Chain A
């Protein structure tokens, strides 16, 4: 039997291909939206993986350091090192801010305060070296577009970029800039000079802190105000043979801190932190699916209505309804396949151009293909219904 759909497509293939390309662009947008969501989740997972931690120790009753702010004393890590099952523990700070560059636009980045050769340090470098000095060196993610040796400004201090890493991003997709922990602590709480002078005046004016009978008290208080003893979290690596839960339990119980395992932190980041974004993207996907269905339905319906006379003739000469329905459905599916191929290619080409990570995974493509085919089948039903209602008598005329 002749493929009526195939012959019709071949006869007007250019119209068909161009229509399929238009649909393909819409499908590309759909794939990209799915990729944006996947990218968000992957960023969150990369953040956890790249930290190298098994446990996150944060302020009690908070879900820090990524989902909520958390502040704990920077000497807590010493106590944690003595806990059973803890192999390594290191302070870490996170601060999202605009990093300034000389003569170039500033860059939004997550500034991470780390200790050299400790958990939290970037696992690998694309270029340069890790931070070795106590101050004013930085390792940046390539997404910042910083160059090795470039001078960047964080708060009032300048840093030299000594290393470049990649896929080190915050859960929001901002690239990370690693600096020494002390500098990061200072950057988090550093006040401007006027505010410092004002604070000193206020402290000196406080009779409780400036007692004439206690020499050195005022200086000690002012000194303590100039130092920030807080970090956002302590990253813990556990010894082999211990489970994260059995190490976390005593820390939580005896140190009055909140401890999250990798699985718990992943749930916070993936389920809670990106939940709103996921719903937003989900709504877009639903709308795009509806719009795509409507467009395919409209195209197929219009194509079918343009062949009413031919359909009437086909019915008159004895063509079965299922042959006519198959012709219309095959054309709709062919349109969908062209759209899918174009959409996949276009999405693959433009995904790297997005400022945030867009992750296109084969599973989504496979699901997308199935959805496209289902959409095309559903969209063709309207045209099939119209075609089957065509009276073969129309071929004979009035």
Chain B
């Protein structure tokens, strides 16, 4: 049976060299199972963004090993040639702000990803509609991003991150612009989607109101991760 989830071992990232070298990540170890949502918490400058970029394959780590399912992504060097395709097919992104493409309607914002992966327009829009229905957003399918509320935009961003059924979703402070009620709703949706799509979701946050919702939390401090059991309120 294939292994699912993301596994990170001894990941490090050094900027510069010699006396001016900065170790942004020193020893990152994480394991997130398929269908699991974990929190990644840390103060400013702890290496959260660097870790997210490394996991998102937009910067190259300096050392360590990273696997998604059975596939070794990084092992002291990239093991995948087409990182763009890796990001498109295997990693979903949810940003602090939704960053929807302003000139595409809701459906096409989501359908764009399967289209980029080679799916037909009709099939891509079908996949988008399925997710919109699951997120109770089908009635806004033809709306433009500017016509949506902050919470609605974030739900569209979640749909976009999940539409290609990626094994991993990286969420960078997805609840930052939302009030408590909407923030908790977003985390609840992420939990449901993770289970439904068997996706490993890593949520970077320092939003106090959502931290208690995670079952497991990774703390990062000075480039080193520490695991901690969470309260898991939202998912119990």
Assembled-state Cα–Cα distance A202/B46 (Å): 111
**Closest residue to A9 on the B side, CB-wise?**
B103
**In contact, B102 and A397 (Cβ under 8 angstroms):** no
Contacts of A43-66 to chain B: CB distance below 8 A: none
A391 at the interface (CB under 8 A from B): yes
Assembled-state Cα–Cα distance A314/B99 (Å): 10
**Closest residue to A321 on the B side, CB-wise?**
B84
Assembled-state Cα–Cα distance A12/B144 (Å): 12
**Closest residue to B105 on the A side, CB-wise?**
A7
Known: A313-B99, A317-B93. A396 touches B87 (CB 8 A): no
Contacts of B137-157 to chain A: CB distance below 8 A: 144
Q: How far is the CB of B56 from chain A (nearest CB, A)?
A: 6
**Interface 1/0 per residue, B81-113 and A, CB below 8 Å:** 000110111000101100101111000100111
**In contact, B108 and A318 (Cβ under 8 angstroms):** no
**Closest residue to A309 on the B side, CB-wise?**
B99
Contacts of A376-398 to chain B: CB distance below 8 A: 391-393, 395-398
Assembled-state Cα–Cα distance A316/B112 (Å): 13
A195 at the interface (CB under 8 A from B): no
**In contact, B58 and A396 (Cβ under 8 angstroms):** yes
The binding surface of chain A is classed by DSSP as helix
**Interface 1/0 per residue, B107-124 and A, CB below 8 Å:** 010011101110001000
Known: A1-B115, A316-B58, A318-B88. A396 touches B103 (CB 8 A): no
A8 at the interface (CB under 8 A from B): yes
A310 at the interface (CB under 8 A from B): yes
Contacts of A279-336 to chain B: CB distance below 8 A: 309-310, 313-320, 323
Which residues of chain A come closer than 8 Å to B111, judged between CB atoms?
A: 2
Q: How far is the CB of A31 from chain B (nearest CB, A)?
A: 32
**In contact, A397 and B172 (Cβ under 8 angstroms):** yes
Q: How far is the CB of A180 from chain B (nearest CB, A)?
A: 73
Known: A7-B108, A319-B116. A396 touches B88 (CB 8 A): no
**Closest residue to A319 on the B side, CB-wise?**
B116
Q: How far is the CB of B218 from chain A (nearest CB, A)?
A: 17
Q: How far is the CB of B236 from chain A (nearest CB, A)?
A: 31
**Interface 1/0 per residue, A1-21 and B, CB below 8 Å:** 110100110111000000000
Which residues of chain B come closer than 8 Å to A1, judged between CB atoms?
A: 115-116, 121
B53 at the interface (CB under 8 A from A): yes
Of B93, B99, B111, B117, chain A has the most CB atoms within 10 Å of the CB of B99
**In contact, A392 and B58 (Cβ under 8 angstroms):** yes
Q: How far is the CB of B153 from chain A (nearest CB, A)?
A: 13
**In contact, B121 and A2 (Cβ under 8 angstroms):** yes
Q: B89, B103, B116, B121: which contacts A8 (Cβ < 8 A)?
A: B103
**In contact, B58 and A318 (Cβ under 8 angstroms):** no
Q: A318, A391, A393, A398: which contacts B116 (Cβ < 8 A)?
A: A318
**Closest residue to B160 on the A side, CB-wise?**
A317
Report the interface size for chain A: residues with CB under 8 A from the other chain. 26
**In contact, B95 and A396 (Cβ under 8 angstroms):** yes
**In contact, B95 and A317 (Cβ under 8 angstroms):** no
Assembled-state Cα–Cα distance A318/B80 (Å): 14
B73 at the interface (CB under 8 A from A): no
B133 at the interface (CB under 8 A from A): no
**In contact, B49 and A317 (Cβ under 8 angstroms):** no
Known: A11-B102, A310-B99, A396-B53. A317 touches B113 (CB 8 A): yes
Assembled-state Cα–Cα distance A319/B116 (Å): 6
Q: A10, A11, A395: which contacts B99 (Cβ < 8 A)?
A: A395
Known: A316-B87, A396-B49, A396-B58. A323 touches B93 (CB 8 A): no
**In contact, B102 and A310 (Cβ under 8 angstroms):** yes
Of A2, A8, A393, chain B has the most CB atoms within 10 Å of the CB of A2
Which residues of chain B come closer than 8 Å to A318, judged between CB atoms?
A: 84-85, 87-89, 113, 116-117
Which residues of chain B come closer than 8 Å to A393, judged between CB atoms?
A: 53, 56, 58-59
**In contact, A2 and B58 (Cβ under 8 angstroms):** no
Assembled-state Cα–Cα distance A6/B65 (Å): 42
Q: A11, A323, A395, A397: which contacts B103 (Cβ < 8 A)?
A: A11
Assembled-state Cα–Cα distance A319/B121 (Å): 16
Which residues of chain B come closer than 8 Å to A314, judged between CB atoms?
A: 101
**In contact, A7 and B95 (Cβ under 8 angstroms):** no
**In contact, A2 and B99 (Cβ under 8 angstroms):** no
B203 at the interface (CB under 8 A from A): no
Contacts of A203-247 to chain B: CB distance below 8 A: none
Q: How far is the CB of A293 from chain B (nearest CB, A)?
A: 26
Q: How far is the CB of B6 from chain A (nearest CB, A)?
A: 17
**Closest residue to A393 on the B side, CB-wise?**
B58
Q: B102, B115, B144, B172: which contacts A396 (Cβ < 8 A)?
A: B172
Which residues of chain A come closer than 8 Å to B104, judged between CB atoms?
A: 2, 4, 7
Which residues of chain A come closer than 8 Å to B117, judged between CB atoms?
A: 318
Which residues of chain B come closer than 8 Å to A317, judged between CB atoms?
A: 87-88, 93, 112-113, 116, 160
A–B pairs, 6, beta carbons within 8 Å: A7-B103, A309-B99, A316-B56, A317-B93, A318-B89, A398-B49
Chain B residues with a Cβ under 8 A of chain A: 49, 52-53, 56, 58-59, 84-85, 87-89, 93, 95-96, 99, 101-104, 108, 111-113, 115-117, 121, 144, 160, 172
- The 10 A-B pairs at the shortest CB distance, nearest first, are namely A318-B88, A11-B103, A8-B103, A393-B58, A7-B103, A313-B99, A318-B87, A392-B58, A393-B53, A318-B84
